[in-house]
Amino acid sequence: MTGGGLLVAGTTSDAGKSVVTAGICRWLARQGVKVAPFKAQNMSLNSFVTKEGAEIGRAQAMQAQACRIEPSALMNPVLLKPGGERSSQVVLLGKPVGEMSARGYHGGRQQRLLGTVVDCLAELRSTYDAVICEGAGSPAEINLRRTDIVNMGIARSARLPVLVVGDIDRGGVFASFFGTVALLSPEDQELVAGFLVNKFRGDVSLLEPGLDMLHGLTGRRTYGVLPFRHGLGIDEEDGLRVSLRGTVRESNVSPPVGEDVLRVAVCAIPLMSNFTDVDALAAEPGVVVRFVDRSEELADADLVVVPGTRGTVRALEWLRERGLAGALARRTAEGRPVLGICGGFQILGEHIEDDVESRRGRVDGLGLLPVRVRFAPEKTLTRPVGEALGERVEGYEIHHGVATVTGGEPFLDGCRAGSVWGTHWHGSLESDGFRRAFLREVAAAAGRRFVPAPDTSFGALREEQLDRLGDLIEQHADTDALWRLVESGAPPGLPFVPPGAPA
């Protein structure tokens, strides 16, 4: 028996598809429905490693957590990791299969992956009662429809009803809803069941006349109006702006436990990946996290984090061009704390031999850690568990660089030299005991009277966040009608809205 399904599309990128998908997943899981998330194709530098060693988008990993299940490669069969403006690494079923230009991908490779994508979705639907799928960008990208596998392409292939989400906070949501439907072919329009308004501020009764007119114009109803709420973002696809509005940064207003706050500056390097690593720091009362791109912004920081990146050599050059490399060297000489994670760890080393990512050969690093890095063709994808600072640590690794440590003190898979730490482990700061121990070390080195809160649980904060998303769907969407969509598909007889897709 095949389980039900639903595709959550959006009028634009960042309309709220990831959040709505996670909210529907958590609402269904709380009803006892066996549910799973799915995104056929994701373009993101924020990725995660499953227990079987597959790389998928972090948004799908968080949506799996909303479903209270383990993430798997089936949930995100195609992941594109940008390496620049014109090319991306293609990750298929959790493993990298090569680099490809956008023209090459959309020119034929994407369409050839449709069979794989459809098979993955079918396997999930054979295992779960419901699969909630997330689209990408807009389903009305008429220049890309022929090769689409993530929006109407997968909806048509799997006969999924489509719910279109619009961000009313941006303005123009009615035109966006109408235009999205009107630019689809008759066959695609048959599957577009209706709309969901996201991020509404004010009195819903003032919106209702517009919703009635939209229904009259399109023959499609609105399934809910979700109010604007701060701090409801999950680990979405990309962009510094998305990270800065992250839940822990917006919702944490607790004063410090000790006398001082702790200031953390994160270098906003190019092609920054897994910037979500610092969310766990920002979850701590009294820790202030900000992203910086100027050397003078490091002056008052108690800790500087050099995060992961998809372009290690490019990021290294950027740090030098902007004077941040010199500022990091001065910090090190003064014994002030620096933490490098993954690509940031590699940057802090003595040199990098890269014939894989940038193909630049040997490049001098910042020389702040006794580490030498060689890029291997094979990508390391693991979920390590270990110990540091007397505490148990869990993390995940996603990197081509192989580090040889020649000195310093052991620190996870990397090392520590004085006040500089480096590791390939993403997610290590989510281990509560380790994070507190690390912050105590940082505070001592920085001369701050900062005390980590004894009871901050990052895992509990994540669960609260997902429950808030579930609450949003349960309280502000027509859940009975949503379930009918999941179970039975789009209503029959939906009218065609001209002009339709161009020939």
> Which residue numbers are catalytic?
342, 426
Cβ atoms of 105 and 126 within 8 Å: the answer is no
Strand partners, 197: 166, 225
Please tell me the distance from the alpha carbon of residue 121 to that of residue 484, in angstroms, as a whole number. Answer: 20
- Residue 61 to residue 299: CA distance in whole angstroms: 36
Q: Which DSSP state fits 219?
A: S
Report which secondary-structure segment, H or E, holds 467.
helix 458-476
DSSP string, 142-191: TTTGGG-SSSHHHHHHHT--EEEEEEGGGS-HHHHHHHHHHTS-HHHHTT
Q: What is the DSSP string of 34-94?
A: -EEEE-SEEE-S-EEE-TTS-EEEHHHHHHHHHHTS---GGG-SEEEEESSSSEEEEEETT
Tokens describing residue 50: 């499953």
Residues 10 and 197: their CA atoms lie apart, in Å, by 10
> What does residue 383 show for φ and ψ, rounded to 5 degrees?
-120, 80
Backbone angles phi, psi at 317, to 5 degrees: -65, -40
Say which residues have a Cβ less than 8 Å from residue 389's Cβ, sequence separation at least 6.
434, 437, 438, 441
Residues of the chain by 3-state class (helix, strand, coil), percent to 5: 35, 30, 35
Which helix (H) or strand (E) segment is 100 a member of?
strand 95-101
